[in-house]
Structure 1
Amino acid sequence: MLSVICESPGVLRAQQSDVPVRVAGEVLLRVSRVGICGTDLHIFTGNQPYLQYPRVMGHEFSGVVVEAEHNSGFAPGDGVYVMPYLSCGQCVACRQGKTNCCVDIKVLGVHRDGALAEYLSVPAQFVHKAEGVTLDQAAMLEFLAIGAHAVRRAEVLADQRVLVVGAGPIGMAAMIFAKLRGANVTCLDTRSDRLEFCKTRLNVDATVGVGPTDAEQLASLTNNEFFDVVFDATGNIDAMNRGFGFVAHGGKYTLISIVPGQVTFSDPEFHKREMTLLASRNATTADFETVLEAMRSGRIPDQALNTHRMRLADVPDAFPRLLEKGQTVVKALVEC
C-alpha cells in the first residue's frame, strides 16, 4: 500500500509498505479522507512537543471497513470515522469519563502512525459508524469536536460575549459552536482573509484585526467590560499570555492551544477578576456526537470549510504549499 511518512522536519516521502494485518479486537479500514490540521503542520515544521520522527501523520480521517470481527457490529463496506485518541480506559482520567486527557493517551498520527496511508488497522472501540454524513464530513469531525469540547468545557451560554483569538480551523470550530449556543461572538486574528471568512461564512458578530488599537476596539464592542468567555486558539505563547487582559470580571479563559513554554499572568489582575482558567484538550465521544447532530441538521458549513484537496500520492509535493504565503487554507482534505 501507499503511505506518506514525515521522516524529519520538512521532509515528506511517499513509500510502499505492507497492508497492516488486523489483530484481534481491531478493525481494518480502507482510508477514505484525511484532514490536514495544525498538528500536522507543526509536525512538518518541527514544532510538535509530543512526537518522535519518523511518523506517518494523519489523525482526522474517515474510512470504509474492510475486515472486522463478526460480533464487532461492523461489516465490510461500512463508512466510519475514528476517535484518534487511543485512551487506556483505566487511569484516573478515564475512570471519570475524561478519556480526552488519558494519562497514557496515544494519538494516531502523533504517538503512533496515522492515516496518511491507504489502509489502517485500529482498535474497534475507537471506530464509529458515520451514519447520516458523507465521508468528507466524517473526516472533518475531529477538529470540529475540539471546538465543541472547548465550548462545552467553558459552559458558554446564550447572549454571553465570547472572544475567539485565532481564526484557524480550531478557532473557527469554537466560533461555530459558541454561535450555536446563542453567544455573541467576536474574532481576533492577524489575517484579514481569515477575518473576512469568519464574518461572511461563519456569521460571527464582529471581527478585529490584531494591531495597535485592537484592545480599544475590543473594549468598545463590550462597553469596556471585555468578554465573558475568551478562547485562545493561536498556538502562540505571546497571544496566550496577552489574552488574560481580554477577560471580563467573573469571566473564563480557555486555552485550546498548546505550546512548549510557560504561560504567565498577573496574579493581582487574575484575582481581581476572580477569573477561571481552563485547559481544553482533544474531545470526547459526546463532543463528536454533538458535531454529528449539527452536521446532520445542516448547521455546519462544512463545504465552505473544505478549501483545499489533494491526492495521497501528491502529498509530498502539495503539503508544503499549504504553508505558502497567500494560501487561504481552512481545511485541506487528502483523498486516499
Structure 2
Amino acid sequence: MLELYLNNPFEMELRESEALPGPTGDEVKIKLIYGGICGTDLNVFKGGINYAKYPVRPGHELLGTIVEAGEDALYPSGTRVVVQPNTFCGRCVKCKKGLTNVCQNKKSLGINTDGGFSEEFVISSRFVLPVPDDLTDERAILIEPFAVVVHALRKVKIDKDVSVAIVGCGNEGKLAVLMASYLGAKVTAIDINPLKLEKVGRMVENIRTALPDEVAGETFDIVVEAAGTRASIEQGMQLVTPGGSMVMIGITSEAHFPVAHVVRNEITLYGSIIYNFPDDFLQTIEYLRNDNFQVDPVVSMILPVSDYEQAFENAFSGDYGKIILDFRGDHSE
C-alpha cells in the first residue's frame, strides 16, 4: 500500500507500507480517490506549526470510498464519502455546547495524528459523510476546504446590498469571493500578487480586484481576512466601515490591535476556525450541488500521487489554485 510520509520537516517520501487490518466497531476503511493539498499541509511540511508531530502522514482534504465497514459503522461498504479531519470527543464542555470545532480534545489529521494521503486508511465513521451521487469527485473534494468559508460567512449577513472585501486570494480567499458573489454582494478581492488577482478576476464576473494600496482610505460593510499575515489583518481592520464586521479566517501569530479604532467605530470582529460537523458540510454540499455555483476554476490541476514532489513545489509557488493528488490506480514509479 502506497502512502506519503513526512519523517521530519522537508523530508517527505512516497513509500510502501503494510496492508491495514480490517476496521472494527464504528470504523470504516476508505480507499482514497482524491486528496487536496492545503496551506496547512505546506506549513506542516516546512515545520511551521508548533503543535505538529513527526513523523506523520499528511493529508486532511480527503474523498474516497468505503471498502470495509466495522460491525457498528454508520455507513456500508461502497459509500463514497468525504472526511471531517478534525476529530472531536463529544464529551467536553465545548462539544456539549455544540462547539465541536473548538473541542478541548481535538486531533487534526495530518498534523498531530496521521492523515489520509494513503491508498487506504481507517477512521471512525463518525467523521465521514456520504457524498450525493450527483456531485462529481472534482467538486466533492472541495467540500472540506469550502466548509471553512461557509462556517465563517454564517457569522455575517451577506446579500445584494452589502459591500464585501476579501483580503487574500489563496484557495480559501477564492472560495470566499465565489460565495460572497453568489450571494449577491458587491465584492472587492485584494491581494499583493497580481497573478492571483488576474485569476480571481477571470473566475467571477462583476467583481473588482485591487492591490492593497489601491483601496487605501476605502471602507466596506464586511471584510473577510483570508491571507493570515500581520499586514493583511491590520489593513483589514482599517477597511471596515463604522458599524461593520470583519471575519478572520487566516492565522498569524500576532498583529497590532487598534483598540480605539475598533471601539469608536463599533466594529465587530469574528474569529472563525474550521467548521461544525455535519451542519457546515451539509450546507456546503448544497452549494456545490447547484450548477449555478461555479467553483470549478478553483482547482488548478490533478496529479497522480507519484508526482507529489511536483505537486508540492507548485503549491509552494503560490501561482496555482487548488492542487489535487489522485490516489487511484497504479502509481508506483
Q: TM-score, structure 1 length as denominator? A: 0.91
1:20 paired residue number: 20
- For 2:279, the aligned partner's letter is A
Query: In the alignment, what sits opposite 1:41?
Result: 42
Counterpart of 2:248 in structure 1: which amino acid? L
Which amino acid in structure 2 is aligned with residue 209 of structure 1? L
Q: Which residue of 1 aligns with 2:230?
A: 237
Q: 1:46 deviation in Å?
A: 2.1
Q: Which one is further off, 45-54 or 28-37?
A: 45-54
CA distance in 1, matches of 2:19, 2:84: 21
Structure 2 residue aligned with 1:152 = 154
Q: Paired residue for 2:299?
A: 306
CA RMSD of aligned residues (A): 1.7
Please name the residue that 1:333 is paired with.
324
User: Which residue is 1:163 aligned to?
Assistant: 165
Match of 2:330 in 1: none
Any residues of structure 2 matched to 1:9-88 within 5 Å, and which?
9-21=9-21, 22-70=23-71, 72-88=73-89
Counterpart of 1:41 in structure 2: which amino acid? L
Hey, what does 1:223 align to over in structure 2?
A: none
CA contact 2:74–2:126 (8 Å) conserved in 1? no
Letter of the structure 2 residue corresponding to residue 291 of structure 1: T
- Which residue does 2:281 correspond to in 1? 288
Out of 166, 174, 177, the position equivalent to 1:175 is 177
> 2:242: which partner in 1?
249
- Structure 1 unaligned regions, length at least 5: 220-225
SS of match in other structure, 2:266: coil
Q: What secondary structure, in the 3-state scheme, does the structure 2 residue paired with 1:200 have?
A: helix
The answer to whether the Cα contact below 8 Å between 1:154 and 1:278 also exists between their aligned partners in 2 is: no
Q: From 257, 261, 264, give the equivalent of 1:269.
A: 261
2:37, 2:123 → 1: CA distance?
19
Q: Letter of the 2:12 partner, please give it.
A: L
Question: What does residue 279 of structure 1 align with?
Answer: 271
Shift in CA distance, 100/299, structure 1 to aligned 2, threshold 3 Å: farther
Structure 1 runs of 4+ off > 4 angstroms? none
Partner of 1:320: 313
Cα distance in structure 2, aligned partners of 1:154 and 1:102? 23
Match of 1:215 in 2: 216
Matches of 1:296 and 1:85, distance apart in 2: 24
Number of aligned positions between the proteins: 324
Contact persistence 2:248–2:272 (CA under 8 A): yes
Cα deviation for residue 255 of structure 1 reads 0.9
- Matched AA of 1:19: A
Q: Aligned in 2, Cα 1:204/1:148: closer, same or farther, shift over 3 Å?
A: farther
Asked whether the 8 Å contact 1:34–1:59 carries over to 2, the reply is yes
Alpha-carbon shift at residue 73 of structure 1 (Å): 4.3
Inter-CA distance 297–318: structure 2 relative to 1 (3 Å threshold): closer
Deviations 1:134-166 (A, max 9, x none): 222221111111111111123334421111100
Q: Percent identity?
A: 29
User: Structure 2 CA distance, aligned partners of 1:229 and 1:332?
Assistant: 29
SS at match of 1:153: coil
Farther-moved stretch of structure 1 (75-84 vs 32-41): 75-84
Cross-structure match for 1:116: 117
The amino acid across from 2:41 in the alignment is D
Residue identity opposite 1:55 in structure 2: V
Looking at structure 2, the residues matched to 286 and 79 of structure 1 have their Cα atoms a distance apart, in angstroms, of: 18
Kindly state the Cα deviation for residue 240 of structure 1 after the two structures are TM-superposed. 1.2
What runs of 5+ residues in structure 2 fail to find an aligned partner? 328-333
Between the aligned partners of 1:197 and 1:231, the Cα distance in structure 2 is: 19
2:188 corresponds to 1:196: no
